[in-house]
């Protein structure tokens, strides 16, 4: 799953999405995450997708206990949210995106 959402050399927001296989649910979560990023950091983000079916050791290394999990690696301190990304307000708050428009 190619998930790079930015075609720029510089990104303001670096995210990592942990999934378990390329399932319809994983694809929905990735699309939801892209939509959230497009609304808050359009053109300034990159999403790295890590499939834990292919790389199960990463779950232990990165302390991933639930899937899907999203980690915001930059800017600032690491933030994470696990589970369904349907509640956009919850996701934005967890990732440090302003919910004001």
Residue-level pLDDT at 91:
92
**Measured distance CA(5)–CA(52) in Å, rounded:** 20
64 located within any domain: yes
**Measured distance CA(20)–CA(76) in Å, rounded:** 27
Which residue has better confidence, 84 or 17? 17
Residue-level pLDDT at 86:
87
Question: Which CATH number fits the domain that encloses residue 27?
Answer: 3.40.30.10
20 located within any domain: yes
101 located within any domain: no
57 located within any domain: yes
pTM of the predicted structure, to 2 decimals: 0.84
- Summarize pLDDT for 12-40 with one digit per residue, the tens: 899 999 999 999 999 999 999 999 999 99
- pLDDT at residue 7 tops 80: no
7 located within any domain: no
Residue-level pLDDT at 29:
95
Distance (Å) of CA 36 to CA 46, 50, 56: 12, 19, 27
Supply the angle between the helices 24-40 and 88-95 in degrees, to the nearest 10: 70
Torsion angle of C-alpha atoms 92, 101, 44, 71, degrees rounded to 10: 0
Number of domains in the chain: 1
């Amino acid at each position: 799953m190619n998930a790079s959402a930015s075609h720029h050399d510089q990104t303001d927001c670096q995210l990592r999405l942990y999934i378990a296989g390329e399932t319809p649910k994983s694809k929905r979560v990735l699309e939801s995450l892209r939509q959230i990023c497009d609304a808050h950091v359009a053109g300034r983000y990159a999403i790295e997708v890590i499939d834990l079916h292919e790389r199960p050791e990463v779950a232990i290394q990165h302390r991933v206990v639930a899937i899907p999990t999203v980690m915001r690696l930059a800017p600032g301190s690491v933030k994470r949210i696990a589970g369904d990304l349907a509640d956009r307000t919850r996701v934005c708050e967890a990732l440090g995106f302003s919910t004001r428009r």
